[in-house]
């Protein structure tokens, strides 16, 4: 097997392992997991190979819009698309082969925290006196609300000495002590 085919399979593996009902906050609902996984499996990760925050944000916004259009009409929404991409990009960063191939470490500090009920609740607990809006779910998540959560996550990450993409390890109940 050649190296490019291996990397294609590795990207598919990461998509299947990271984009799950649990990661997206669905219990027994039928969702377009296959569509979300297919899009992520075929996405050009080189778009995220940058040390420029504006270039990264533009690529993330473009892919979010494309994924939102790609999924079926009854589920099409910005929040599910954005969280799917953030979950997948986190998995790609953590995968040695994909991270090395696409130099994803360059963008590590630009990657967003994958938002879910659990991470939103964790951020709200950490916010203390600072009010973060109530979490209403991925299906209603819009960019302005996501930006508020991401700004606080960025601040919390800076104080914690980690990139915000890694915060879910500290925010999910039962994962940290």
Work out the percent of the chain whose per-residue pLDDT is above 70. 90
Cβ pair 108, 93 in contact under 8 A: yes
Task: Please give the model's pTM, rounded to 2 decimal places.
Answer: 0.91
Closest-CA residue to 142 (of 71, 68, 44, 69): 68
Question: For position 47, what pLDDT does the model report?
Answer: 96
- Give me the chain's average pLDDT, please: 89
Question: For position 24, what pLDDT does the model report?
Answer: 83
Q: What ranges do the domains of the chain cover?
A: 3-107, 117-171
Residue, of 174 and 17, whose pLDDT is higher: 17
Cβ pair 18, 90 in contact under 8 A: yes
Q: Say how far apart CA 147 and CA 129 lie, in whole Å.
A: 19
Over range 65-81, report the average pLDDT: 80
Query: Which residue's entry shows tokens 């990139």?
Result: 163
Q: Say how far apart CA 5 and CA 130 lie, in whole Å.
A: 48
Closest-CA residue to 146 (of 26, 29, 23, 64): 64
Question: For position 106, what pLDDT does the model report?
Answer: 96
Tokens of 88: 């997948």
Residue 15 pLDDT > 90, yes or no? yes
pLDDT in tens, 133-168: 989 888 889 999 999 999 999 999 999 999 999 998
Residue, of 128 and 105, whose pLDDT is higher: 105
Over range 24-35, report the average pLDDT: 66
Q: Say how far apart CA 157 and CA 5 lie, in whole Å.
A: 36
């Amino acid at each position: 097997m050649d190296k490019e085919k291996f990397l294609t399979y590795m990207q598919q593996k990461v998509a299947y392992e990271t984009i799950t009902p649990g990661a997206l906050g669905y219990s027994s609902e039928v969702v377009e997991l296959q569509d979300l996984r297919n899009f992520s499996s075929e996405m050009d990760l080189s778009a995220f190979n940058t040390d420029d925050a504006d270039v990264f944000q533009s690529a993330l916004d473009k892919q979010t819009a494309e994924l939102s259009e790609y999924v079926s009409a009854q589920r099409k929404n910005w929040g599910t698309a954005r969280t799917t991409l953030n979950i997948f990009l986190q998995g790609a960063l953590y995968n040695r082969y994909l991270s090395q191939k696409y130099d994803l470490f360059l963008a590590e500090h630009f990657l967003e925290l994958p938002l879910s009920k659990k991470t939103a609740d964790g951020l709200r607990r950490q916010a203390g006196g600072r009010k973060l809006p109530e979490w209403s779910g991925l299906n209603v998540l819009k960019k302005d609300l996501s930006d508020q959560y991401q700004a606080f996550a960025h601040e919390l990450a800076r104080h914690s000495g980690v990139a915000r993409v890694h915060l879910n390890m500290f925010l999910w109940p039962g994962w940290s002590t």
